[in-house]
């Protein structure tokens, strides 16, 4: 029998007792009770857009599917539990999550963002929020104190990612949270790269955690979706209002798929990390590689911070191949199991060239400032047999870099 995970049956709050069960048990059971009407162990996909009321305003917690629906609620409850938050709100993409949160600060607000934030977030901040009267300052946060000078009287949000993409720089979440709160702003942490399995920013002082569910949480490269998790009821109500009012919500089917993906998050993350660690060490020994960037390596300049604020190092790594664009191109043309593609976090291994692919929209100056050089290659290490991945990397390096 499934453990009795619910505190009560109020549909409007995420109320799973977060501390009672281990991560794997919560991943499989939180928000995933068998369907009470049939006993179905896997909740059905609820496609109805509207819900019967027995009298005016009397219903079972659902009125209209944009406002909420059972599959979305189930997903929100599970992910809230895994991020150790009280509330979660799901959106149609990670980007829609960002847009909705930014809208919540109103016009004339100011945002401080880490300088190597996800490219789409950078684009939203500069090309969309900017036209709506919101000002954004980008800051290098390798030293959290750098943030001090960026605050203005109207700073509402500090927005960070750690590790950053694609150069895997770490930011001290606790230190940034403290400074942010001294200035009466809120800290948003994009936790996409670590997933809740390895890092829980709310416990380190973040006010909102966001994820591109598209990546590790769904994990199978077949859903685009996002989510925000928070503890503060006021922030929750504000963003919940906008979730419904703006309406960038995920479909029932996508919510159902993401819930299915979530159930194996712990298994996948362990394997992603095991494979990434072996590949990082292998690349570090290769004479055809100039530098390997992986927070789990002792050579990573912030390895100690990684150990302090996270429970693991994830499945993303970047390396600089010996040479330049030609060698990187040669490697990416010749890998066979790794697929040359953007995105990350799926079970299959992917490789990409940040300078010409995911980060092509940045100016050359900005790319140089954040270390996105022409010989940089980013790997999203999947969960295939690691020996096959190592062999694939070796043969592609052999073709790309001549001794
Ligand atoms: C992919 C990604 C996003 C955007 O999410 P979408 O679901 O593609 O809209 C935001 N942040 C990070 C770190 C990402 O990798």
Distance from the alpha carbon of residue 118 to the mean position of ligand 1, in angstroms: 7
Is residue 212 within 6 Å of ligand 1 at its C-beta?
Answer: yes
Contacts of 99 (CB under 8 A, 6+ apart): 124, 128, 246, 248
Which residues are catalytic, by number? 66, 118, 190, 215
CB-based contacts of 350-359 (< 8 A; 24+ apart in sequence) = 350/379, 350/380, 350/382, 351/377, 351/378, 351/379, 351/380, 352/377, 352/378, 353/328, 353/329, 353/377, 353/378, 354/166, 354/318, 354/378, 355/325, 356/325, 358/119, 358/165, 358/166, 359/119, 359/166
pTM, rounded to two decimals: 0.94
CATH for 265-400 is 3.90.1150.10
Nearest CA owner, ligand 1 atom 6: 94
Q: Which of 214, 343, 338, 216 is nearest to 267 (CA)?
A: 216
Is residue 215 within 6 Å of ligand 1 at its C-beta?
Answer: yes
3-state secondary structure of 227: strand
pLDDT given at position 20: 79
Bigger pLDDT: 365 vs 134: 134
* Ligand 1 atom closest to the CA of 214, numbered from 1: 7
Q: What is the pLDDT of residues 158-202, one digit of tens each?
A: 999 999 999 999 999 999 999 999 999 999 999 999 999 999 999
Q: Tokens for 289? A: 């590689």
CATH for 8-262 is 3.40.640.10
As beta bridge partners, residue 111 has 136, 157
Q: What is the pLDDT of residues 332-341, one digit of tens each?
A: 999 999 999 9
Contacts of 122 (CB under 8 A, 6+ apart): 113, 138, 361, 362
Which residue reads 């050359």 in tokens?
A: 364
Instruction: Reply yes or no on whether the pLDDT at 9 is more than 80.
Output: no
Distance from the alpha carbon of residue 265 to the mean position of ligand 1, in angstroms: 17
Q: Which of 246, 245, 263, 396 is nearest to 334 (CA)?
A: 396
Is residue 346 within 6 Å of ligand 1 at its C-beta?
Answer: no
Nearest CA owner, ligand 1 atom 8: 94
Instruction: Reply yes or no on whether the pLDDT at 93 is more than 80.
Output: yes
Mean pLDDT of 68-75: 96
Contact between 114 and 161 under an 8 Å Cβ cutoff? The reply is yes
Percent of the chain topping pLDDT 70? 95
Per-residue pLDDT band for 19 (boundaries 50, 70, 90) equals: low
As beta bridge partners, residue 374 has none
**pLDDT, the chain, mean:** 94
Residue 3, classified by CB atoms within 10 Å of its CB into exposed (0-12), middle (13-18) or buried (19+), is exposed
Structural domain spans, the chain: 8-262, 265-400
Q: Tokens for 132? A: 């709506």
Is residue 162 within 6 Å of ligand 1 at its C-beta?
Answer: no
* Ligand 1 atom closest to the CA of 213, numbered from 1: 7
3-state secondary structure of 71: helix
pLDDT given at position 403: 79
Mutate to test the pocket of ligand 1, among 102, 119, 192 (most ligand atoms within 8 A of CB): 192
Is residue 195 within 6 Å of ligand 1 at its C-beta?
Answer: no
Give me the phi and psi of 187, to 5 degrees please: -105, 125
Which residue reads 């709050």 in tokens?
A: 13
Is residue 354 within 6 Å of ligand 1 at its C-beta?
Answer: no
pLDDT given at position 369: 86
* Ligand 1 atom closest to the CA of 97, numbered from 1: 9
Contact between 121 and 190 under an 8 Å Cβ cutoff? The reply is yes
Is residue 248 within 6 Å of ligand 1 at its C-beta?
Answer: no
Contact between 247 and 66 under an 8 Å Cβ cutoff? The reply is yes
Q: What is the pLDDT of residues 267-297, one digit of tens each?
A: 999 999 999 999 999 999 999 999 999 999 9
Instruction: Reply yes or no on whether the pLDDT at 81 is more than 50.
Output: yes
Instruction: Reply yes or no on whether the pLDDT at 38 is more than 90.
Output: yes
Percent of the chain topping pLDDT 90? 88
* Ligand 1 atom closest to the CA of 161, numbered from 1: 13
pLDDT given at position 362: 83
pLDDT given at position 5: 41
């Amino acid at each position: 029998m499934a453990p009795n995970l619910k505190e009560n049956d109020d549909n409007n709050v995420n109320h799973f007792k977060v501390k009672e069960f281990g991560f794997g048990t919560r991943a499989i059971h939180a928000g995933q009770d068998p369907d009470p009407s049939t006993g179905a162990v896997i909740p059905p996909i609820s496609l109805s857009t509207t819900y019967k009321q027995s009298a005016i305003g009397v219903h079972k917690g659902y009125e209209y599917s944009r406002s909420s629906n059972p599959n979305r609620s189930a997903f929100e409850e599970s992910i809230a539990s895994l991020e150790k938050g009280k509330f979660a709100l799901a959106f149609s993409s990670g980007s829609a999550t960002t847009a909705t949160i930014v809208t919540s600060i109103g016009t004339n607000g100011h945002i401080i963002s880490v300088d190597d934030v996800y490219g789409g977030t950078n684009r939203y901040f500069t090309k969309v929020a900017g036209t709506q009267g919101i000002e954004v300052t980008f800051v290098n946060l390798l030293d959290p104190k750098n943030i001090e000078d960026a605050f203005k009287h109207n700073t509402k949000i500090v927005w960070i990612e750690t590790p950053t993409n694609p150069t895997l720089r770490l930011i001290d979440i606790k230190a940034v949270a403290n400074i942010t709160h001294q200035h009466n702003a809120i800290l948003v942490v994009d936790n996409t790269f670590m997933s809740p399995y390895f890092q829980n920013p709310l416990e380190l002082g973040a006010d909102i955690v966001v994820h591109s569910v598209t990546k590790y949480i769904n994990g199978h490269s077949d859903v685009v979706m996002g989510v925000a998790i928070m503890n503060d009821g006021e922030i929750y109500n504000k963003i919940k209002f906008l979730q419904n009012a703006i309406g960038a919500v995920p479909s029932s089917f996508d919510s159902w798929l993401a819930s299915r993906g979530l159930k194996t998050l712990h298994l996948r993350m362990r394997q992603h990390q095991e494979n990434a660690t072996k590949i990082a060490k292998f690349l570090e020994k290769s004479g055809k590689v100039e530098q390997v960037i992986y927070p789990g390596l002792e050579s990573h300049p912030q390895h100690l911070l990684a150990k302090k604020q996270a429970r693991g190092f994830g499945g993303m790594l970047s390396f600089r191949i010996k040479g330049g664009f030609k060698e990187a191109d040669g490697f990416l043309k010749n890998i066979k199991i790794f697929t040359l593609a953007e995105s990350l976090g799926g079970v299959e291994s992917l490789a990409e060239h940040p300078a010409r692919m995911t980060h092509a929209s940045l100016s050359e100056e900005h790319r140089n400032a954040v270390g996105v050089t022409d010989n940089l290659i980013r790997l999203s290490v999947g969960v295939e047999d690691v020996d096959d991945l190592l062999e694939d990397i070796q043969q592609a390096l052999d073709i790309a870099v001549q001794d």
